[in-house]
């Protein structure tokens, strides 16, 4: 027994050493560049194949092949990736969404390239670089970890590395060459990937798909070490390796046997699930903000062309028709990513798991092997499988509530790997499964017609989710999650809805795919395919249903008509270009054509064209001696409608905006009259206390936001103004104290719940939804507000001067002043009882600030309670009724604005 324990421990140390090398490489790359290299496993696979090529195919000495592979090729791969893929992304702004897609692009490119060069079959003759004795591999791992630790702790490069990790921009200002640090990190990370690959290749299956996934399963080691601590990574890797080996000695009888065997063979997958789903996220800098672009319009006639192309296979026969059967099924699967990622903005790397579950459940239900259910007809089994899989979307939807970006990507990837290893790879669930097609649709042509009908249903469901109130809410959540929550969008439940709908669509497509080939094939739903599908849908237009159909046709057609791996290689190349062309291939080509047609002349936006027309009209009128014509009330201009909207008799704050009960705009007859005014409510905060570690941000703060009055909070940076604002808005829960709206305690309510009670807010950094038009931005606030008012959108657009041609303009690319008006209009459209404004004058010029002050005074005169956090003391003096001065987390002075501001030293720049 002791000998067996010792032998299993040695075997575990061998596996753990390879896992430790992977963790070291991932951590070093992440610390130097901020990128979790999803291509780490693919680089390991390529290096293992290359060493085999040197020794087995070309007959070169092992030492020569190892030296070239590990000391030349592997670091060169890292340097090339840093220089030509990730450095341009950093120069363009370092959008983490594009960085993640580029990393996945490298993964699928290397996998596809390896399949093209060496074929898709497994190789069992990989050379052994280090003897099977685990002490040698353990010594290598420990030596590398010790060397990296010594370099980072005691050398100049290590100090530079730590500086870049803490704050890259500040390190650059300090004279550190961040590009050199990043290049060194990529080179070392690729070296460790190559070393891992050549060490593992003799003992595992060497193939283009299995080995990269095997290496990436041990990413749990790096996540458990918080992507920082090398000693923790080594200890965790060795511990999991030894535990996995020891579990192989357990042989329970009965139902537990297959479960224990599955866990024993996949303990690193269990660790990945725990690290991704239970442990906190791996950092805040990895959230994936959406690039601010307007959505591309579908070209005229595109749907007609798509319908014709999908009808053409009805004229095929034989192998071509049989291959075409896969296209509609894969199209439905990719539509699930349109809903989850394209419209909802959520990273989902595990859709292959839901597609596979749909296929598996369909086969089990049709065969009568599903527990507690009889055998069902094939089509009924397919629909039942969709209903059974849809709730399982909560497996990835629930983590999405609290995770973003890289943390969410890891969670969804972990779910996909877990389902693959613990369900699809287990013979007790999948052995002997066959699947027939529905009665009357046994032939390929008839079944293709059925698939087209199901695809049409999926397109209709996707269209419903992308349009209307739900579609606007999903787009708002995708563009700016905090802004959507502030507008009243129930972000947590909307995320769950997106993932559940995505799981249902994926299950439908997976069941269709299994029926098409008349069998359940676990390899068709491998996690690597999930990564390929995600990359394909992103690069071909994530928020575009036509892009999903094009991706399905491309993937099936290339793999069927060419050597395996062509589709993956092409998608990988397109994914590498996503940083340079973030709008996608169609929009990039369309913009290029527009530039070519316009030559060297600039093209004005609609706003610019309108301004130019008015200027020319005024010049012509001035030349003729006539009075310049006044623009129409709906014409777009810099705050002209907003200024006129609240100037009736020339006195500030009185004018056309005269209260909800009398109607906002008597001259505007189309919208219905607003609802009667709600009872006034005071927002009260009592004894608020917030601490971050040892720093106290709020220390017993009391504040009242009274109806019909404007309260202002001023103070130096770090005084606690923003923390107080977040506590009132619901984006931060205080450690102690309470927040009440009227008689209701709202301390524990989220931001969107408070918005639906009538507490609206704006942001210091603009929180608009770039892919929506101006009117759609405002409509989101009206639809999610606490009062159902059909005319709120039109009144808000009119009040803030956005009701002309500007209303149809995409928010992306509009000037800052205009976007500030859009944000204010969205908050106002929800008919708030309390309006919280964070630096509302930021980005506005003097005239726009004056117009803003008039509108805010009118809102206060109408009974709205306003709180303004502002550094512009002139605006505070002109606007506020009550001023609170904060210092060191406390309100030190409160009172009427004129009295409080007189007591402040005008030379005290800390307050200004």
Per residue in 201-243, pLDDT tens? 888 878 888 888 888 888 888 888 888 888 888 899 999 988 8
Mean pLDDT across the stretch 774-799?
85
Task: Choose the most confident range, by mean pLDDT, from 34-43, 124-133, 492-501, 598-607.
Answer: 492-501
pLDDT of residue 641: 46
Mean pLDDT across the stretch 256-262?
74
Name which of 548-552, 669-673, 691-695 the model is least confident about: 669-673
Name which of 620-629, 807-816, 838-847 the model is least confident about: 620-629
pLDDT of residue 671: 45
Percent of the chain residues past pLDDT 70, beyond the cut: 82
Say whether pLDDT at 610 is over 70.
Answer: no
Q: Kind of pairing, strands 882-887 and 890-896?
A: antiparallel
Mean pLDDT across the stretch 415-439?
83
Mean pLDDT across the stretch 117-144?
82
Mean pLDDT across the stretch 803-825?
86
pLDDT of residue 280: 65
Say whether pLDDT at 159 is over 90.
Answer: no
pLDDT of residue 818: 86
Say whether pLDDT at 558 is over 80.
Answer: yes
Say whether pLDDT at 91 is over 70.
Answer: no
Return the higher-pLDDT residue of 660 and 87: 87
Name which of 249-258, 356-365, 465-474, 645-654 the model is least confident about: 645-654
Query: Virtual CA dihedral for 499, 779, 806, 849, nearest 10 degrees?
Result: -110
Mean pLDDT across the stretch 425-433?
72
Contacts of 162 (CB under 8 A, 6+ apart): 152
Percent of the chain residues past pLDDT 90, beyond the cut: 29
pLDDT of residue 804: 81
Q: Evaluate whether 531 touches 353 at the Cβ level (below 8 Å).
A: no
pLDDT of residue 392: 93
Say whether pLDDT at 467 is over 60.
Answer: yes
**Dihedral sign, Cα of residue 781, residue 403, residue 583, residue 309:** negative
pLDDT category of residue 739 using cuts at 50, 70 and 90: very high
**298-350: per-residue pLDDT in tens?**
676 888 889 999 999 988 888 888 899 999 999 999 999 999 998 888 889 99
Q: Rounded mean pLDDT of the chain?
A: 82
Return the higher-pLDDT residue of 646 and 116: 116
Give kind and range of the element (H or E) at residue 492: helix 491-517
Separation CA 279–CA 407 (nearest Å)? 10
pLDDT category of residue 664 using cuts at 50, 70 and 90: very low
Give kind and range of the element (H or E) at residue 81: helix 74-81
Name which of 513-527, 608-622, 704-718, 864-878 the model is least confident about: 608-622
The C-alpha angle with vertex 894 and arms to 891 and 899, in degrees rounded to 5, equals 140
Beta-bridged to residue 703, according to DSSP, are: 685
Separation CA 644–CA 858 (nearest Å)? 13
Tokens at 564, concatenated: 């395996």
Question: 451: alpha, beta or left, given left = phi > 0 and alpha = psi -120 to 50?
Answer: alpha
pLDDT of residue 668: 35
pLDDT of residue 292: 44
pLDDT of residue 559: 80
Mean pLDDT across the stretch 411-432?
83
């Amino acid at each position: 027994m002791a000998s067996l324990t010792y032998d299993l421990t040695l075997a575990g140390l061998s596996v753990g050493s390879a896992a430790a090398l992977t963790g070291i490489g991932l951590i070093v790359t992440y610390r130097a560049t901020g990128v979790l290299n999803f291509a780490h496993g693919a680089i390991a696979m390529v290096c293992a194949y290359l060493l085999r090529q040197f020794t087995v195919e070309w007959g070169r000495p092992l030492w020569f092949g190892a030296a070239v592979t590990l000391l030349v090729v592997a670091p060169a791969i890292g340097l090339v990736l840093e220089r030509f893929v990730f450095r341009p992304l950093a120069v363009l702004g370092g959008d983490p969404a594009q960085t993640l897609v580029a990393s996945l692009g490298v993964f699928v490119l290397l996998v596809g390239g390896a399949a093209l060069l060496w074929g898709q079959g497994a190789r069992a003759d990989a050379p052994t670089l280090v003897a099977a004795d685990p002490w040698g591999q353990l010594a290598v791992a420990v030596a590398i970890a010790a060397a990296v630790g010594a370099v980072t702790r005691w050398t100049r490069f290590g100090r530079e590395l730590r500086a870049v990790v803490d704050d890259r921009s500040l390190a650059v200002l300090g004279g550190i060459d961040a590009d050199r640090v990043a290049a060194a990190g990529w080179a070392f990370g690729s070296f460790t990937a190559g070393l891992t690959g050549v060490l593992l290749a003799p003992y595992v299956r060497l193939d283009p798909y299995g080995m990269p996934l095997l290496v990436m399963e041990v990413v749990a080691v790096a996540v458990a070490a918080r992507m920082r601590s090398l000693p923790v990574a080594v200890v965790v890797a060795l511990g999991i390796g030894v535990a996995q080996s020891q579990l192989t000695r357990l042989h329970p009888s009965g139902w537990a046997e297959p479960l224990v065997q599955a866990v024993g063979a996949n303990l690193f997958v269990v660790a990945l699930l725990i690290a991704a789903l239970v442990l906190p996220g791996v950092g805040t800098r990895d959230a994936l903000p959406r690039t601010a672009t307007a959505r591309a319009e579908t070209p005229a006639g595109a749907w007609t062309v798509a319908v014709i192309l999908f009808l053409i296979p009805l004229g095929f026969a034989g192998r071509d028709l049989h291959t075409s059967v896969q296209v509609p099924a894969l199209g439905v699967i990719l539509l699930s990513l349109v809903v989850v990622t394209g419209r909802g903005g959520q990273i989902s790397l595990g859709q292959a798991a839901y597609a596979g579950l749909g296929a598996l459940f369909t086969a089990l239900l049709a065969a009568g092997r599903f527990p507690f259910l009889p055998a069902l007809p094939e089509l009924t089994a397919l629909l039942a499988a969709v209903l059974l899989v849809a709730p399982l979307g909560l497996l990835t939807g629930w983590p999405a509530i609290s995770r973003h970006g890289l943390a969410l990507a890891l969670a969804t990837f972990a779910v996909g790997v877990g389902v693959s290893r613990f369900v699809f790879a287990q013979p007790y669930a999948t052995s002997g499964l066959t699947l027939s097609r529905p009665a009357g649709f046994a032939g390929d042509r008839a079944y293709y017609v059925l698939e087209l009908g199901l695809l049409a249903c999926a397109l209709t469901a996707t269209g419903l989710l992308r349009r209307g109130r739900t579609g606007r809410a999903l787009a708002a959540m995708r563009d700016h999650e905090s802004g959507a929550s502030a507008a009243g969008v129930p972000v947590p439940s909307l995320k769950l809805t997106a993932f559940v709908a995505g799981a249902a669509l994926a299950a439908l497509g997976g069941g269709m795919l299994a029926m098409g080939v008349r069998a359940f094939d676990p390899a068709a739903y491998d996690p690597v395919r999930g990564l390929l599908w995600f990359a394909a849908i992103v690069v071909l237009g994530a928020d575009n249903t036509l892009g999903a159909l094009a991706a399905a046709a491309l993937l099936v057609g290339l793999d069927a008509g060419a050597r395996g791996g062509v589709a993956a290689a092409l998608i990988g190349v397109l994914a590498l270009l996503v940083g340079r062309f973030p709008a996608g291939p169609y929009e990039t080509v369309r913009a290029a054509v527009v530039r070519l047609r316009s030559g060297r002349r600039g093209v004005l936006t609609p706003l610019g064209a309108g301004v130019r027309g008015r200027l020319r009209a005024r010049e012509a009128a001035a030349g003729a001696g006539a009075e310049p014509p006044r623009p129409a009330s709906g014409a777009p201009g810099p705050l002209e409608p907003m200024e006129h909207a609240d100037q009736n008799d020339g006195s500030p704050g009185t004018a056309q905006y005269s209260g909800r009960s009398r109607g906002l705009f008597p001259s505007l007859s189309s919208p219905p009259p607003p609802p009667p005014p709600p009872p006034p409510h005071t927002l009260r905060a009592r004894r608020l206390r917030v601490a971050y570690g040892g720093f106290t941000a709020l220390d017993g703060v009391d504040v009242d936001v009274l109806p019909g009055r404007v309260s202002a909070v001023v103070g130096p940076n770090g005084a606690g103004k923003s923390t107080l604002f977040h506590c009132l808005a619901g984006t931060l829960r205080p450690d102690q104290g309470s927040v009440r709206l009227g008689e209701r305690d709202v301390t524990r309510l989220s931001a969107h719940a408070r918005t639906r009670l009538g507490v609206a807010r704006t942001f210091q950094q603009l929180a608009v939804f770039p892919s929506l038009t101006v009117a759609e931005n405002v409509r989101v606030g009206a639809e999610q507000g606490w009062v159902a008012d059909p005319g709120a959108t039109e009144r808000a657009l009119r009040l803030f001067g956005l009701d002309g041609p500007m209303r149809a303009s995409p928010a992306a690319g509009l000037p800052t002043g205009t976007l500030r008006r859009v944000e204010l209009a969205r908050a106002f459209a929800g008919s708030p009882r309390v309006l919280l404004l964070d630096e509302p004058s930021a980005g506005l010029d003097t005239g726009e600030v004056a117009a803003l002050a008039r509108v805010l005074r009118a809102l206060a005169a109408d009974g709205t309670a306003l709180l303004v956090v502002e550094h512009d003391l002139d605006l505070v003096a002109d606007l506020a009724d009550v001023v609170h001065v904060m210092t060191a987390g406390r309100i030190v002075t409160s009172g009427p604005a004129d009295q409080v501001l007189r007591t402040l030293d005008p030379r005290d720049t800390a307050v200004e």
